[in-house]
Amino acid sequence: MRRRRLLGSQADDNDPMSVVGNLFDVAMVFAVALMVALVGRYNMTEMFSRDDFTIVKNPGKDNMEIITKEGNEINRYTPSDEESSNQKRGKKVGTAYELDDGRIIYIPDGA
């Protein structure tokens, strides 16, 4: 009688394509782990919650971007001096400050 090998037969050892299935599984596990790590690192957990939120990226700079989530819809707003029919655009007209007591003070540019 022949002895059976625990890890496979002799025919499996000669098949170079038998490794591809395992590589795909490893790649999927790596991709999911990378996505979870990036979401955790950049505190983007709000994107997966049911709550509405607003994120301001690069506040006060030329490449500032405002991202809002309302229900299942995510909107992006990029303030700019240029007009565009595809996206909502605008320009910075002042600065708002929130005081410790909750009041908000608006200071227009050029004032």
Using DSSP's 3-state secondary structure scheme, residue 52 falls into coil
Q: For residues 45 and 9, give the distance between their C-alpha atoms in angstroms, rounded to a whole number.
A: 47
Q: Is the pTM of this model over 0.85?
A: no
CA 26 to chain centre: 23
Single-letter amino acid code for the residue at 79: P
Residues in the chain: 111
pLDDT tens digit at each of 111 positions of the chain = 555 555 555 555 677 777 777 888 899 999 999 998 988 887 777 667 777 888 888 887 878 888 888 888 888 888 764 445 555 666 778 888 888 998 888 888 865
